[in-house]
Structure 1
Amino acid sequence: MSPELVAVLAVIIAAMVFDYTNGFHDAANAIATSVSTRALTPRVALGMAAVGNFIGAHLGTEVAKTVGDGLVDLPTGIPSLGIVFAGVLGAVAWNLITWYFGLPSSSSHALFGGLVGATLVAGLGSVQWMNIVQKVLIPMVLSPVVGLILGFVAMIALMWTFRRGHPGKLNRGFRMAQTVSAAAMAVGHGTQDAAKTMGIVVLALYTGGFQDDTTHIPQWVYWASATMLAAGTYTGGWRIIRTLGRKIIDLGPSEGFAAETVASSVLYFNAFVLHAPISTTHTITSAIMGVGATKRLSAVRWNVAGNIVIAWVTTFPAAALLACLLYFVCRPLFG
């Protein structure tokens, strides 16, 4: 087995580990609201989310190309594979830290931060800062704002439309509707998050000299990324599910339906129209806040929201720093 093949396999394994942690870290994105409103039982919700992620992974081609080709430029060779390896491990480390504390941070921005940090500290290759700004930083700011505003507007619209409805019948109806909105959220999560892992695998294949470009995605990469994300999702990150489903606001079926519908719409628009790899975590969390604010501003537990925002802001630089440290540990293995 050639050294290049060993190095590529090491990066692919690291990417699959990231994909798995991404699944259980971000399972809350698709199911927290449905579980908290008792629209779905936890295991049924997780199973549905896993299937949705698996399906969505096969729809995220353009996002995968953005990750594989649009963030960093690396020359081919084993040293560059060491950069990708350290970047992915930095993202895994940050995922585990934020999962432990129950903070719904962005696995996507952890991955991007890890890649950028490892590339900068290695002094090999370059960061495509314009793409980072346009496709990562601007969406990182705008998607939560859009989610917050649309969540508020959608909830107001539902309240006005069903203002004369019977509360008991409405709750039953919205619980049934949440099955659809949660499934849509799960598919949207797959289009975004599995695609990022696919982009990393393709980048590794190109850097290792096993592929001529960073735009072609082999079929086995779809299946591997989709399977690992689905498996991680089924495991369920219960700490973060509790944070999203219970600690930000007390969700009812109508609020859960509105938040999931808004968040999944934003995910689809970015994946299929803008081809931008946005954070599913930022989107659903801000939609929940927007929905909650329709009750009254004090209905949102802003101290919890503040901790989440701090985690959002620190994710990119923290993952970059972790990747820098891990690069010096890993560099001798990729010499």
Structure 2
Amino acid sequence: MDTSVLIVTIAVALFFTYTNGFHDSANAIATSVSTRALTPKAALLMAAVMNLFGAFLGQGVAQTVIKGVIATPHGRSGMAVLFAALAGAVLWNLTTWYLGLPSSSTHALFGGLIGAALAGGVTVHWTGVVDRIIVPMFASPLVGLVVGFGVMLAILWFFRRANPHKAKRGFRIAQTISAAAMALGHGLQDAQKTMGVVVLALVIHDPARGFGIPVWVKVVCALTMSLGTYAGGWRIMRTLGRRIIDLDPPQGFAAETTSASILYVSAYLFHAPVSTTHVITSAIMGVGATKRVKAVRWGVAKNIVAGWFITMPAAGVVGAGCYYLIWLIFH
């Protein structure tokens, strides 16, 4: 196969991880910025560095992307499937970023993969899709909601006699750590997804090479995501940081700690590529509900949840459309 086709596909994969970085940078830092625990520039720099480190912490999620979603496609049509999948994910990422909607880059990628695979006649591993993608897609927000509520209740109980001003000042400092942990988890989860796609492209180009992840793939994907993260996602940051609920430092710390824990557990124990967007958004809702249920702006939350359900099928349709367009142009 022509090497130029491989290079173009990898370039699109890296562009996807760049859009993932600026699309999802808000996930890691919106709460810290909204509570003024960190300045926006400091938060973005911290998130970029921690994303870079997180990318090297494991490869279970990458192996799920490589082997658990679709059968390994072959030849030029196989590379077209991969290219179309990435194009579908990128287009959906850019659309939702422009609208300021914190949809999931994870499910945009998997939606694109499934849609392009179906259009290109590539087998979809539906059991893997259900077990590793659909179930975590529904379970992780519920866990985030419940655990965020529980963590915030524990904080309220333990610090019930503390001076409110001193406690908030302490939690503002603690948020630096929790935001860093959240960014590390984002790198652990999301950078691996692109690594898996790049390895698929390499295998399609040379089936004899095997499914190992070269060091250069890890480095390039991690650096590209970090650059995207530093570019920032201000529209989405406003949605997460202020429009769902007005957060204070203890609430921000609880939401970030909850989210980081879920990201680590899902990556290390289940190799499940969960959405950082889903997790942090539901954790913010759970934390906010301890204040009072009406404190959460459920209308905004409803629009976000609607975006969750739309993302996979929408990216799938775009991915399939991109595949048919490529087929028409080159056949």
Shorter-chain TM-score bucket reads over 0.9
Per-residue CA deviation, residues 266-320 of structure 1 (Å, 9 max, x unaligned), is: 0000111111100000000000000000011100000000000000000000000
**Which residue of structure 2 lines up, in the alignment, with residue 226 of structure 1?**
222
**Which residue of structure 1 lines up, in the alignment, with residue 129 of structure 2?**
132
8 Å contact from structure 2 (residues 17, 228) kept in 1: yes
> How many angstroms does 1:332 deviate by?
5.1
Which letter does structure 1 place at the counterpart of 2:117? T
8 Å contact from structure 1 (residues 108, 278) kept in 2: yes
8 Å contact from structure 2 (residues 73, 79) kept in 1: no
**Which residue of structure 2 lines up, in the alignment, with residue 26 of structure 1?**
24
Residue 197 in structure 1 maps to residue 194 in structure 2: yes
**Which residue of structure 2 lines up, in the alignment, with residue 72 of structure 1?**
70
8 Å contact from structure 1 (residues 7, 334) kept in 2: no
Alignment gaps of 5+ in structure 1: none
Counterparts of 1:54-133 in structure 2, within 5 Å, are 54-123=52-121, 125-133=122-130
Counterparts of 1:229-248 in structure 2, within 5 Å, are 229-248=225-244
Aligned-partner SS, 1:305? helix
Q: State how far apart, in whole Å, the 2-side matches of 1:27 and 1:257 are.
A: 17
8 Å contact from structure 2 (residues 71, 123) kept in 1: yes
Q: State how far apart, in whole Å, the 1-side matches of 2:301 and 2:99 are.
A: 14
Cα RMSD (Å): 1.1
Residue 167 in structure 1 maps to residue 164 in structure 2: yes
Per-residue CA deviation, residues 70-122 of structure 1 (Å, 9 max, x unaligned), is: 11013321110000000001000000111111111000000000000001011
> How many angstroms does 1:168 deviate by?
0.8
Residue 319 in structure 1 maps to residue 309 in structure 2: no
Which letter does structure 2 place at the counterpart of 1:312? W
**Which residue of structure 1 lines up, in the alignment, with residue 2 of structure 2?**
4
- Give TM-score, length-normalised by structure 2: 0.98
Q: State how far apart, in whole Å, the 1-side matches of 2:66 and 2:287 are.
A: 35
Aligned-partner SS, 1:73? coil
Residue identity (%): 57
> How many angstroms does 1:334 deviate by?
6.0
Change (3 A) 1:330 1:60: farther
- Give TM-score, length-normalised by structure 1: 0.97
**Which residue of structure 1 lines up, in the alignment, with residue 140 of structure 2?**
143
Which letter does structure 2 place at the counterpart of 1:150? V
Residue 276 in structure 1 maps to residue 272 in structure 2: yes
Which deviates the most, 148-157 or 73-82? Answer: 73-82
**Which residue of structure 1 lines up, in the alignment, with residue 149 of structure 2?**
152
Q: How many residues align?
A: 331
> How many angstroms does 1:211 deviate by?
5.0
Residue 254 in structure 1 maps to residue 283 in structure 2: no
Per-residue CA deviation, residues 220-272 of structure 1 (Å, 9 max, x unaligned), is: 00011001100000000100000000000000000000000000000000111
Q: State how far apart, in whole Å, the 2-side matches of 1:334 and 1:199 are.
A: 26
> How many angstroms does 1:326 deviate by?
1.0
8 Å contact from structure 1 (residues 31, 182) kept in 2: yes
Q: State how far apart, in whole Å, the 2-side matches of 1:16 and 1:157 are.
A: 41
Counterparts of 1:32-51 in structure 2, within 5 Å, are 32-51=30-49
